[in-house]
Amino acid sequence: MSWLIPGLPAGGPALGIILLLIGIVILIIPRIINYLIAAALILSGIGWCMAGNWLWGILAIAAGILILIVPRILNYVVGIYLIILGLGQIFASGWALFPLIVGAVTLLFGIIVMVNPGVLNALVAIIFIIQGIMLLARYFNWFGG
């Protein structure tokens, strides 16, 4: 199945190169991810409204416009979400070691994002770059196997 360039398999080098380029662009212009998410929310909201789901459509459009006006709010919302998720994981773990560690790390990342919101954009960029490299490595069999 090819979807970007005829003749290339999905998940092949085209997707790897695109993810790599998106990651590099986000590293160069960190705030662009906030604007892309805002645009995606607005377009999704329009789609939901056209499908007849007015409540989610209007909420998505409003959230997209809010993010366009105040781009950093997205980073704070993600930080709060990570803190709540981490605390929930810690208290729901029953003091089992692995869920406790995952909850503590998630809580720590949430606090880091709240203290320095720009770190989230850098982490997203790094994730895109690593995903692009891994897709290219798997396609070209760089690591053998």
What are the tens digits of pLDDT across the range 118-129? 898 998 899 899
Residue 33 near residue 136 (C-beta atoms within 8 A): no
Distance of alpha carbon 80 from alpha carbon 68, whole angstroms: 19
The alpha carbon of 143 is separated from its chain's Cα centroid by a whole number of angstroms, namely 27
* Cα gap 10→86, rounded to integer Å: 34
Residue type, 12: G
Close Cβ partners of 134 (under 8 Å, ≥ 6 residues apart): 16
Q: Give the whole-angstrom CA distance, residue 68 versus residue 43.
A: 13
Which tokens sit at 1? Answer: 């199945």
What was the pLDDT predicted at 118?
A: 86
Q: What single letter denotes the amino acid at residue 25?
A: V
pLDDT tens readout for residues 128-138: 999 899 888 88
Q: Tell whether pTM > 0.95.
A: no
Ranges 68-72, 95-99, 138-142, most confident: 68-72
